[in-house]
Amino acid sequence: MSGAVLDLKQIRENPTAIQEQLNRRSADRYDISPILELDRQQRELESIRTQLQTRSNEIGKEIGQKIKGGSDPKGSEIQALKAEGNEIKTKLSEFEPQEKEIKSKIESLLLQFPNLPSESTPIGNSEEENIEIRRWGEEYLPKNPNILPHWEIGEKLGIFDFERAVKVARSRFVSLVGAGAALERALITFMLDRQIEAGYTEVIPPILVNTQTLTGTGQLPKFAEESFKCQEDDLWLIPTAEVPLTNLYREEILEASSLPIKHCAYTPCFRREAGSYGKDTRGIIRLHQFNKVELVKIVHPDTSEEEHQSLVKDAEAILQALKLPYRVIELCTGDIGFSAAKCYDIEVWLPSSGKYREISSCSNCKDFQGRRASIRFKEAGKKGTKLVHTLNGSGLAVGRTMSAILENYQQEDGTVKIPEVLQQYMGREVL
């Protein structure tokens, strides 16, 4: 049994195994028994409806045969059969809305359930049980003993303006000024250039998307409170480019020969950060609006694990080119995201806090999003279709990358060196 979105057939055939896998996830407890009960009711109604439909068909034939055999069409025998037939039609018309309501309830419940963890995802209850896979760049750890936090050095350099951004919007917004704006733009262009070289096709997608789009990738209904909505238009600001990029192929049947599809995109991203109050209130680590370069792959199920590993390497390559120390963490079952079956986090070193902080989350969603968004593929010469596997990861979060540069490249005289690979984009060597 693969780590896939919960579908009714899986729950019906493997209820114990499904419940056990769900129990391995976070503190949120998911109970499949209401779905099982609704499914029982639905199948019971289907069985009765089938019996009634069969009897209705029999009555029609019986009336025809009796009339053909000489029975009076207005006689009591025929009239009794017609009355029985009309009674059955009335019952059938009553069943239709009942079945429709039960089906709607089942679909609504299924949308609230997360993906099942992959069999290779480590079992654990929280982030404390995540597993460190590797570290890179310890030789680039800064020697400067007096590193200022990125927000302090940013304000000293005049590249961050928090006060005016709050006046224009609210807290957790920033305006990037002068060299700050140039550094952000340089990072975006550099990241896109590298990922295009790695084989990704660049897309500029819509950053306002409809409810169906957010449902397809798993942000709705569970994370509605995390998102900004344009109430009158049924449009939402995207939390990540994963949402529009994956949904470009919603309700399509792709040719197997077109896989893998690999896209990269720069977009602004918007998150309410509900539940994070008091966390990272200073600086640009946790803003309501931030820029990100996203990587999305739509792949054949046979290659998804291999494609996942290469996705992680593509994200790591940016940090290696920038010579920023980082580590790769494999998330346990209690810490993986709602849509993920397996996930690796890349964490960059932030010296002011003395720890690694997440800069990219690389997820293999297997067929979870493929089923929700109805993205399938067809193999040449074979009947039927199969669900695609989808993968996504940041390549990278731009603001967090800037934070890491401002701290790791900070000099004792208060200047900040610009990483070599960015100098051609910036036209300077120092901030």
Per-residue HEC secondary structure of 347-414 comes to EEEECCCCEEEEEEEEEEEECHHHHHCCEEEECCCCCCCEECEEEEEEEEEHHHHHHHHHHHCECCCC
Query: Does the pLDDT of residue 422 top 60, yes or no?
Result: yes
Active site residues: 271, 286, 358, 361, 400
SS3 state of residue 15? helix
Note the pTM of the prediction, 2 decimals.
0.89
What's the chain's average pLDDT? 92
Q: Is 345 helix (H, G, I), strand (E, B) or coil?
A: strand
Confidence band for 81, pLDDT divided at 50, 70 and 90 = confident
How far is residue 41 CA from its own chain's centroid?
Answer: 32
Rounded to the nearest 10°, the torsion over CA 249, 251, 254, 258 is 10
pLDDT at 67: 80
What is the structure's pLDDT at 73? 78
Phi, psi of 173 (to 5 degrees): -130, 155
Q: What does the pLDDT read at residue 388? A: 97
Distance of alpha carbon 98 from the chain centroid: 33
Checking DSSP bridges between strand 355-366 and strand 289-299, what pairing results, if any?
unpaired
Select 127-426's CATH number: 3.30.930.10, 3.90.1150.10, 2.30.38.10, 3.40.50.1370: 3.30.930.10
**Per-residue pLDDT tens digits for 263-311:** 999 999 999 876 555 666 788 888 999 999 999 999 999 999 999 999 9
- pLDDT score for 423: 96
Percent of the residues in the chain that have a pLDDT greater than 90, as a whole number: 76
For the chain, give every domain's residue range.
33-111, 127-426
Residues 258, 244: Cα–Cα separation, whole Å: 19
- Tell me the residue ranges of DSSP E strands in 156-284: 160-161, 175-176, 201-202, 208-210, 229-230, 235-237, 252-255, 261-270
* Whole-number pLDDT of residue 1: 36
